Structure 1
Amino acid sequence: MATRTMLFLLLLVQYVFASNSSEVPLEQYFKSDLRFPNIPVGLTRDGMYYVNATLGTPGQWQQLGLGLAQPYVWVVSGDADSQCNRLDSGCLSGPLYYPQESWTSSTGGDKYSINFIDGISLNGTRYMDVMRLMNVSSSLNVSGVDSGVSFRNHTLTVQNLSFFNADYSSGYLYGSLGLGGTLNSDTELEGDFINHSFFFLDALKEARLINSSSYSLWLGSQKRNGFADTSDANEAGYLIFGAVDPNLVEGEFRKFDMIPYIHPQTGKVAYGYPVVPMGPIYITSSSGRSLNVTTDGFSAPVLLDPSFALSYLPTKAIIQIAIQIAAVYVESLDLWLVSCDVASSGATVDFSFGDLTIKVPLSDLLASTHDQSTNTTLHFNTGQEACVLQLYPNTFTGYNVLGQAFMKNAYLAVDLEGKGVAMGQAANFKSGERKEIITRQASIVTFTDSLNKTSVATFSTVPSSMTSGYIPYATYESDSAYDSMQLYPSKVGSRITSIPGQIAGTVYPGGVIAGDGRSFYDTSRTTTKLQTSTQFDSFSLSGTLGWNDSLASTSSTSRRNTAQHTSPAWLVSLLGTACVLLGSMVI
């Protein structure tokens, strides 16, 4: 009894001291332990972040992708398979869902066509069944009779979840755990039959597992680089429902108001997606030298979404990055290729959001050119292995997207009810290390540990609950310039266009790339010998630049180095800046 009293007094003293700076309520601190459900996020060999789940009774195993820009859960239908789509078929391993195999399934009967803002479309039938999320951690056992939600033995069960069983899903082999807000589209689904049973996070809130429809996502334990490893990762990170864990962020943690999405056909406004204002983009060397690859006043909305393997940015920014790392564009492959050696340079691509900067190692933006079917890899004629630069113009999507490379380096918190998004640089440690930190903190808060460990926990390192309009530990980023910002998709293009001929390449038989991947300077030197102005005399441009770019089309369609065509002023200036201001290759 005396020990418990002493522990309480010590914690009370800590609270009084911390309240002067962190302003965390005492009652919130005592609730801030492992009670918040958090689930490991895996990464498939082909690059999809997922959580493990089952649907139906008996449970049919599913790997559900993270649908940050999708409001509903959906799965790929196995209706057409008469051998499996029946009771007691034994087809439980996924990835298809067989409604007739489950004795708890029910259907609304009607079919619907849905287009999500991330470009995924599906045709499917509305179903209701039991969903179970596996390997969930929480300190509480909960059974909500009225809500149909329970948590037992590391399994989070939602008894009556509505979802779509898709017989068409734009080429996807796996379903999705919808974490987005409500959908406003030309189909106007919501209102007639869409209710709270379709929204997974709402079900957790109704069961009082979380205080608001919110989540945070950390993918920082995923150390795989696209060019270095193709193995599966069972624990690439964590999805935390309703809470923020400050151990998962390094440095500033900033909150932004969600930028609304405007449907291009109907003009309807939709919130509930992690769309934030992105500022200038920089490429930075290991010595700290930086170059702005956009403009000083650059500002544009961007969707944060790990379901995108690539990132989609303004064309001019990608060209400038390509110049700095000596990448070449191969039209026949529609890819930027660069020597894999640049991965070890220590360079980063830095994305700014007001006063916040998220650094993405250049190595995370590279992918291997290895073809498993032929066991071959592309090489430059110097013998250097070629890697793919995983950046594409935003003309492919109609808007800016920061995909997996960025999300691996950012800790994200989304408050759907309060229309807020917070993020910071992701902490860098393994999933197991995070488990030890949180378990240690929880043991202290619940008075189950000894006195000599009380000094480990502090109020600033305890996971805390999100409520509507409140994201703990986040500093609000206020800028009136963002008030009128909207994400309005532009017309989607088909290929990379407007590539300077001097940074274009060709692949010859045997997988050899013409040129050594060097653009305007010798990248083997620590200092660069500047070339004469004749290096800028011949470019070949075709088409128009991407979103927010303003270059008129040219008449030439050739992209060979010998093509003679006058370059626009911005491109000549851009190339000159690369050599004159830096004096050498940034990395």
Structure 2
Amino acid sequence: MKGLATFAASAGLLWACSEGLTLSQRTNASPKVVGFPVVRKSVPNPLKRDQLRRRSGTVQATLDNEETLYFANATLGTPAQTVRLHIDTGSSDLWVNTATSDLCTAKGKACTAAGTYSANDSSTYSYIASDFNITYVDGSGASGDYVTDNFTLGSTTLKTLQFGIGYTSSSAEGILGIGYQLNEVQVQRAGKSAYLNLPAQLVSDGLISSNAYSLWLNDLDASTGSILFGGVDTDQFQGTLATLPIQSESGGQYGEFLLTLTGLSLGDTVIAKDQAQAVLMDSGSSLTYLPDAMAEAIYDQVSAQYDSQEGAAYIPCSMASNSTTVGFTFSSPTIQVSMDELVIEISSSSGKPLTFSDGERACLFGIAPAGSSTPVLGDTFIRSAYLVYDLANNEISIAQTNFNATSNNVVEITTGTAAVPSATVVQNPVTATAGATNEAMAGTVTLGAGGTATATSKAKSGAKITMPPMKLTALAVSLGMLYAAM
């Protein structure tokens, strides 16, 4: 069973320290890779946080009103101004708050922990345009200027890196988006050409050979995790990396990390087979969101109770010690996710455990229904997988993670096809079809006296979900949900 964890993580050949980020520039005799540590904070409300990520347009980014997840410490400008940035594979822009933004001034010290950026205080700042703007379905967002300035990670500085300044914002944390350039706000909103975001700039400056990076979140209870640009750490996964094509979007373009989920199992029980379901690999999503029928089938097997009002499922906490795993199949490779990665402790605002009506302790389950949204494999899945995002070749290589690896063997990702070391291309991979139409689920789990949850039907209903299924409202807030994820 996993509780709240706050940890510092190391990346590649680098080890984390409490003082902040370290980034290593490799010598000519070493693999050309760039790694940096990430620090994970607690998220008291993962479902609400995920709901805020669902934006109303084609630009995907993270705007958290809660505490952020994984972040890195960096500096911007001359002299250096320290900022803390939420690392997000699901977005493509780096943006930061300014101390004079509505959020930072209205809430006093809301932006103090993450830091802010002042263009007027930097001698290397250069203005580009006032067309940085992201809007979310709940009305939140960020807007301001696109600028360039020096960006430093550890001892390595990228000159004139483009980023956004949020003069109006709903997030106290800045964002370090490392997705496809096609997904940049400048492209999607302003209709302009793409610019060099961080991964592309690392290639352009010769710090890495290819626009690719590996992600290892490690066990939820672990003290280490890593993001490695331009390289793979073969000690952090088991077996062989299996390379799968990223699914293109309309017009054959690539904007998001979509893979094809072909099967789902729970132990020896087949939940779904012969599927062609596009799923988004999103490290910025706390939970995993599956097509409703798949989620409901798993709930039936593990005695989870679903509350449609909260978009959350509750499960007996004792299931954390169950040896059954959930298997996610992608044409050929299957990633097994253990129950203790899916069972999340929660408690009432008074600190008392949440229980079902029969007195058994209740936990939050790390799988939720996707409803009408694109299914997402978030942190409750990704922690069990080692992922290599190869943006240059539009591929993702995947393997079962090696939790708590104690050694490192970093190998450079080179240029050209088959550039990812220790990877085998999956033959005849299934191509995703249009997302399945989900029949909405219904059911309630309500609090009784003393923090007791009374569960009712999990049956499907003809009624349509009218809110994003990951929304967690006043009930979960009052329960004091605590959860750490990227």
TM-score range, shorter chain: 0.7 to 0.9
SS of structure 2 residue aligned to 1:514: strand
Alpha carbons 2:76, 2:149 under 8 Å: kept: yes
Q: Tell me by how many angstroms 1:191 deviates.
A: 8.8
2:330 pairs, out of 348, 353, 370, with 353
CA distance in 1: counterparts of 2:459 and 2:226, whole angstroms: 47
2:368 pairs, out of 384, 392, 396, with 392
1:541 aligned residue: 461
For the structure 1 residues 32 and 508, does the alpha-carbon distance in structure 2 shift closer, same or farther, using more than 3 Å as the test?
farther
AA at the equivalent of 1:200: L
Q: Tell me by how many angstroms 1:465 deviates.
A: 2.2
SS of structure 2 residue aligned to 1:392: strand
For the structure 1 residues 507 and 249, does the alpha-carbon distance in structure 2 shift closer, same or farther, using more than 3 Å as the test?
same
Superposed CA deviations along residues 92-147 of structure 1, whole A, max 9, x for unmatched, are 85333332333332222423324699x9953231111121123xxxxxxxxxxxxx
Alpha carbons 1:222, 1:236 under 8 Å: kept: no
2:262 pairs, out of 279, 295, 299, with 279
1:158 aligned residue: 158
Greater relative CO, 1 or 2 (CA 8 Å, sep 6+)? 2
CA distance in 2: counterparts of 1:351 and 1:213, whole angstroms: 27
Correspondence 1:103 to 2:52: no
CA RMSD for the aligned pairs? 3.4
Superposed CA deviations along residues 412-440 of structure 1, whole A, max 9, x for unmatched, are 1112121111111111115xx23xx44xx
2:356 aligned residue: 380
User: Higher helix share goes to which structure?
Assistant: 1
Q: Tell me by how many angstroms 1:32 deviates.
A: 7.8
1:498 aligned residue: 441
CA distance in 2: counterparts of 1:358 and 1:273, whole angstroms: 21
Alpha carbons 1:277, 1:300 under 8 Å: kept: yes
For the structure 1 residues 274 and 322, does the alpha-carbon distance in structure 2 shift closer, same or farther, using more than 3 Å as the test?
same
2:24 aligned residue: none
CA distance in 2: counterparts of 1:34 and 1:420, whole angstroms: 21
Correspondence 1:476 to 2:425: yes
For the structure 1 residues 260 and 116, does the alpha-carbon distance in structure 2 shift closer, same or farther, using more than 3 Å as the test?
farther
Superposed CA deviations along residues 130-188 of structure 1, whole A, max 9, x for unmatched, are 21123xxxxxxxxxxxxxxxxxxxx221121110112345x433222221112268974
For the structure 1 residues 178 and 332, does the alpha-carbon distance in structure 2 shift closer, same or farther, using more than 3 Å as the test?
closer
1:508 pairs, out of 448, 466, 477, with 448
CA distance in 1: counterparts of 2:377 and 2:160, whole angstroms: 34
CA distance in 1: counterparts of 2:208 and 2:216, whole angstroms: 18
Alpha carbons 2:212, 2:229 under 8 Å: kept: yes
1:64 pairs, out of 85, 88, 93, with 85
For the structure 1 residues 254 and 311, does the alpha-carbon distance in structure 2 shift closer, same or farther, using more than 3 Å as the test?
same
Alpha carbons 1:182, 1:270 under 8 Å: kept: no
Superposed CA deviations along residues 319-357 of structure 1, whole A, max 9, x for unmatched, are 111111111123454421111111011221110112201
CA distance in 1: counterparts of 2:344 and 2:92, whole angstroms: 30
Aligned residues: 409
CA radius of gyration, larger in? 1
1:426 aligned residue: 401
Question: Counterparts in 2 of 1:356-371, with a 5 A limit?
Answer: 356-371=333-348
CA distance in 1: counterparts of 2:298 and 2:31, whole angstroms: 42
Question: Counterparts in 2 of 1:69-468, with a 5 A limit?
Answer: 69-80=90-101, 94-114=114-134, 122-134=142-154, 155-169=155-169, 171-183=170-182, 188-189=187-188, 194=193, 196=195, 198-223=196-221, 236-262=224-250, 269-284=252-267, 290-294=268-272, 296-371=273-348, 373-395=349-371, 398-430=373-405, 433-434=406-407, 437-438=408-409, 463-468=411-416
Superposed CA deviations along residues 191-214 of structure 1, whole A, max 9, x for unmatched, are 976554x42122211222111111
2:65 aligned residue: none
Alpha carbons 1:60, 1:94 under 8 Å: kept: no
For the structure 1 residues 116 and 270, does the alpha-carbon distance in structure 2 shift closer, same or farther, using more than 3 Å as the test?
farther
Q: Tell me by how many angstroms 1:243 deviates.
A: 1.3
Moved more, 305-314 or 378-387: 378-387
Superposed CA deviations along residues 224-262 of structure 1, whole A, max 9, x for unmatched, are 6xxxxxxxxxx5411111112211110131001111134
Alpha carbons 1:115, 1:185 under 8 Å: kept: no
For the structure 1 residues 539 and 72, does the alpha-carbon distance in structure 2 shift closer, same or farther, using more than 3 Å as the test?
closer
For the structure 1 residues 351 and 57, does the alpha-carbon distance in structure 2 shift closer, same or farther, using more than 3 Å as the test?
same
2:478 aligned residue: none
Alpha carbons 1:218, 1:248 under 8 Å: kept: yes
Question: Counterparts in 2 of 1:556-575, with a 5 A limit?
Answer: none
AA at the equivalent of 1:375: G
AA at the equivalent of 2:398: M
1:585 aligned residue: none
Alpha carbons 1:340, 1:386 under 8 Å: kept: yes
Superposed CA deviations along residues 288-339 of structure 1, whole A, max 9, x for unmatched, are xx11122x21121111111101111111111111111111123454421111
Alpha carbons 2:132, 2:185 under 8 Å: kept: no
Q: Tell me by how many angstroms 1:399 deviates.
A: 0.6
Alpha carbons 1:61, 1:92 under 8 Å: kept: no
Q: Tell me by how many angstroms 1:390 deviates.
A: 2.2
SS of structure 2 residue aligned to 1:319: helix
AA at the equivalent of 2:225: G
CA distance in 1: counterparts of 2:254 and 2:346, whole angstroms: 38
CA distance in 1: counterparts of 2:117 and 2:435, whole angstroms: 33
For the structure 1 residues 44 and 510, does the alpha-carbon distance in structure 2 shift closer, same or farther, using more than 3 Å as the test?
same
TM-score by length of 1: 0.63
Q: Tell me by how many angstroms 1:220 deviates.
A: 1.4
2:75 pairs, out of 42, 51, 54, with 54
TM-score by length of 2: 0.75
CA distance in 1: counterparts of 2:103 and 2:321, whole angstroms: 52
Alpha carbons 2:316, 2:363 under 8 Å: kept: yes
SS of structure 1 residue aligned to 2:421: coil
- Share of identical aligned residues, percent? 25
CA distance in 1: counterparts of 2:104 and 2:184, whole angstroms: 36
AA at the equivalent of 2:205: A
1:36 aligned residue: 33
For the structure 1 residues 274 and 463, does the alpha-carbon distance in structure 2 shift closer, same or farther, using more than 3 Å as the test?
same
CA distance in 2: counterparts of 1:276 and 1:340, whole angstroms: 31
For the structure 1 residues 222 and 327, does the alpha-carbon distance in structure 2 shift closer, same or farther, using more than 3 Å as the test?
closer
Alpha carbons 2:289, 2:370 under 8 Å: kept: yes
AA at the equivalent of 1:328: Q
